[in-house]
């Protein structure tokens, strides 16, 4: 008698939700993961707050990763249906062997409440059948966290739902400030481990395949987790994007940011972009949070590629028209 062996159900794909407030260092950490895990194929879903994004350009080397951008709203509210759709399409391609990936990483916008994102993996039957939520990893900006936790409910939720907390920019604060922050984080979430991370350098095995997400724990802190949830953002927080194929004058652009930071620093929650400068064969990558800004060289421009600059500003009650006019004066005609 011949025995027929029926294969068991396909293993669920582990999902990591990467969250943290604006400018905490999520994309830097994602870069680290994509470059470190050379033996795996990773599907990355990126979400940005605003009509256009630059994070795909900020990924230095995605290797075997598949990247899907969602930049038409916040993943935790208006576009959660898109998240379900994208996950479903990825799963269909995987089952049809037209696409292969070993895990999914979702990088949320810095203004996202992670609860509705996590809900997706328990409330949608098809998604729950194909994916398992492995962990929520939250990056916390040690320099700005106190004011962000004071001012934004989303920052508190990101900490409260974390299975791992990574403390970035801790080298920019003194020991007393760091200890005070860590005590506050432990009061919000005594369950999550807290580790310092410098430019995304951390043990990858502590972030992936940790089986850290506990539904029972979440239901203890938020009994309505599996119910329908509404989520609203501060209407004063808005994003705008400045696009141009003209090169910037470096000195004038530097003066623009100096003046903008001086005038609007506390309200500049996040600003980042890719800039083309004459004579420079690489993209200039700009990143800033409040009064803190840095720049670095990105990927080289390809032959024949349009040298398109794109700057994204997210802030509270920013004078968009005046800032756009000031940026126009920085262009080389």
Per-run averaged pLDDT (10 residues), the chain, 333 residues: 37 91 88 75 77 49 55 51 85 83 89 83 85 92 92 88 91 94 91 84 79 67 58 65 93 94 87 90 86 85 90 87 96 89
- One domain, residues 131 and 75: yes
Query: What is the CATH number for 210?
Result: 3.40.50.300
Whether this prediction's pTM lies above 0.75 is answered by no
Query: What is the CATH number for 255?
Result: 3.30.1220.10
What is the domain extent for residue 246? 237-328
- One domain, residues 143 and 276: no
What pLDDT, on the 0 to 100 scale, is given for residue 49? 57
Sign, Cα dihedral of 144, 77, 85, 103:
positive
**Spatial distance between the Cα atoms of 248 and 251, rounded to a whole number of angstroms:** 9
What pLDDT, on the 0 to 100 scale, is given for residue 276? 93
Within 10 A of 174 (CB to CB), how many other CB atoms are there? 9
Which parts of the chain fold into alpha helices (H)? 26-36, 55-58, 80-95, 114-123, 125-130, 145-151, 153-160, 175-188, 215-221, 250-264, 320-328
To 10 degrees, the CA torsion angle through 277, 279, 285, 288? -50
**Spatial distance between the Cα atoms of 310 and 244, rounded to a whole number of angstroms:** 7
How many domains does the structure of the chain reveal? Answer: 2
**Spatial distance between the Cα atoms of 192 and 188, rounded to a whole number of angstroms:** 10
**Spatial distance between the Cα atoms of 255 and 261, rounded to a whole number of angstroms:** 10
**Spatial distance between the Cα atoms of 143 and 289, rounded to a whole number of angstroms:** 10
Question: Pairing state of beta strands 42-47 and 103-107?
Answer: parallel
- The verdict on residue 18 lying in a domain is yes
- One domain, residues 217 and 297: no
**Spatial distance between the Cα atoms of 79 and 296, rounded to a whole number of angstroms:** 32
- One domain, residues 130 and 54: yes
**C-alpha separations of 166 from 24, 62, 169, 170 in Å:** 9, 22, 10, 10
Asked if 248 contacts 331 with a C-beta cutoff of 8 angstroms, the reply is: yes
Return the structure tokens found at 184. Answer: 């506050």
- One domain, residues 171 and 300: no
């Amino acid at each position: 008698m011949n025995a027929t062996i029926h294969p068991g159900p396909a293993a669920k794909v582990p999902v990591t939700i990467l969250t943290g407030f604006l400018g905490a260092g999520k994309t830097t950490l994602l870069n680290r993961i994509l470059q470190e895990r050379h033996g795996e194929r990773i599907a990355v879903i990126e979400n940005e707050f605003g009509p256009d994004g630059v994070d795909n350009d900020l990924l230095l080397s995605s290797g075997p990763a598949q990247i899907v951008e969602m930049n038409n709203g916040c993943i935790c509210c208006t576009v959660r249906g898109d998240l379900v759709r994208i996950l479903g399409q990825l799963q269909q391609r995987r089952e049809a062997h037209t696409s292969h990936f070993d895990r999914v990483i979702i990088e949320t916008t810095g203004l996202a409440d992670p609860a509705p994102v996590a809900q997706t993996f328990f409330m949608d039957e098809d998604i729950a059948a194909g994916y398992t939520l492995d962990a929520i990893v939250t990056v916390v900006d040690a320099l700005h966290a106190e004011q962000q936790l004071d001012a934004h409910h989303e920052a508190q939720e990101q900490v409260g739902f974390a299975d791992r907390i990574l403390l970035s920019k801790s080298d920019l604060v003194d020991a007393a400030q760091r200890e005070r922050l860590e005590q506050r984080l432990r009061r919000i979430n005594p369950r999550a481990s807290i580790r310092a991370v410098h430019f995304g350098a951390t043990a990858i095995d502590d972030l992936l395949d940790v089986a850290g997400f506990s539904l029972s724990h979440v239901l203890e802190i938020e009994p309505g987790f599996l119910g329908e949830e509404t989520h609203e953002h501060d209407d004063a927080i808005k994003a705008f994007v400045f696009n141009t194929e003209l090169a910037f004058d470096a000195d004038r652009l530097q003066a623009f940011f100096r003046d903008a930071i001086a005038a609007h620093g506390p309200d500049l929650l996040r600003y980042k972009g890719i800039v083309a400068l004459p004579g420079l064969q690489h993209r200039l990558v700009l990143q800033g949070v409040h009064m803190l800004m840095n720049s670095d060289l990105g990927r080289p421009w390809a032959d024949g590629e349009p040298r398109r600059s794109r700057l994204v500003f997210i802030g509270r009650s920013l004078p968009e028209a005046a800032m756009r006019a000031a940026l126009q004066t920085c262009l080389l005609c």
